[in-house]
């Protein structure tokens, strides 16, 4: 049995994703020309996107990683906890928050306030996938890879129970895999 067998459909193939990530990298390179932004990513889902995005950027930059938790099982708890904080100060820096997917926006909304308290020069958001149908918080997304429908997606870093992150495309997980109950994601 292969991980691919659990995929109902391929929403975005690997070439489509690679092309769009390259476009985002070029756009960020142009917008941040002459500056040295720090890319801040939330573990673990955005790691694949972060790695490809930073390689697509042609400007000096650095990265930092955070880990947050707002889920208990497959449902959001509404309580955000910082499990791993930034390793370097961001005061006076241009910050680009790199996200894999923006769904309800509640965790990111909390994170934006948390980062703003650190007095960066600017904060912008770059997300690979935007799922506006489930949005509960008004999030100003500056760079969007793709707007997707309200489907449970996996691959290219996105997971279900820590599996499927290594798929080279964005796929829709078969409901039979997660028992038909809709998980967050």
pLDDT for 10 equals 97
Edge to edge, the sheet with strand 62-72 lists: 75-84, 62-72, 38-42, 94-102, 122-130, 143-147
Residues with Cβ within 8 Å of residue 87, at least 6 apart in sequence: 64, 65
Identify the pLDDT of residue 148: 97
Q: Which of 103, 117, 138, 150 is catalytic?
A: 103
Per-residue pLDDT at 49 = 98
Please say if the pLDDT value at position 164 is more than 70.
Answer: yes
85 carries an active-site annotation: no
Domains of the chain: 15-153 (3.40.50.2020)
Q: Please give the distance of CA 14 from its chain centroid, rounded to a whole number.
A: 16
Q: CA-CA distance, 38 to 154, in Å (whole number)? A: 27
Percentage of the chain modeled with pLDDT above 90: 79
Does this model's pTM top 0.85? yes
Mean pLDDT within 21-33: 98
Phi, psi torsion values for 47, nearest 5 degrees = -60, -45
């Amino acid at each position: 049995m292969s991980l691919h067998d659990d995929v109902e459909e391929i929403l975005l193939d690997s070439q489509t994703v690679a092309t769009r990530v390259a476009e985002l990298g070029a756009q960020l390179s142009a917008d941040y020309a002459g500056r040295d932004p720090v890319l801040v990513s939330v573990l673990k889902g955005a790691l694949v996107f972060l790695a490809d995005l930073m390689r697509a950027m042609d400007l000096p930059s650095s990265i930092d990683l955070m880990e947050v938790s707002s889920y208990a099982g497959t449902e959001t708890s509404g309580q955000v906890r910082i499990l791993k904080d930034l390793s370097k100060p961001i005061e006076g820096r241009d910050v680009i928050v790199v996200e894999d997917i923006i769904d309800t926006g509640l965790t990111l909304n909390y994170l934006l306030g948390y980062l703003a308290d650190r007095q960066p020069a600017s904060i912008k958001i770059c997300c690979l996938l935007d799922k506006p149908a489930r949005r509960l918080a008004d999030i100003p997304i500056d760079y969007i890879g793709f707007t997707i429908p309200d489907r449970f997606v996996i691959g290219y870093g996105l997971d279900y129970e820590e599996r499927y992150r290594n798929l080279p495309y964005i796929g829709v997980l078969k409901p039979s895999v997660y028992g038909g109950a809709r998980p967050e994601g």
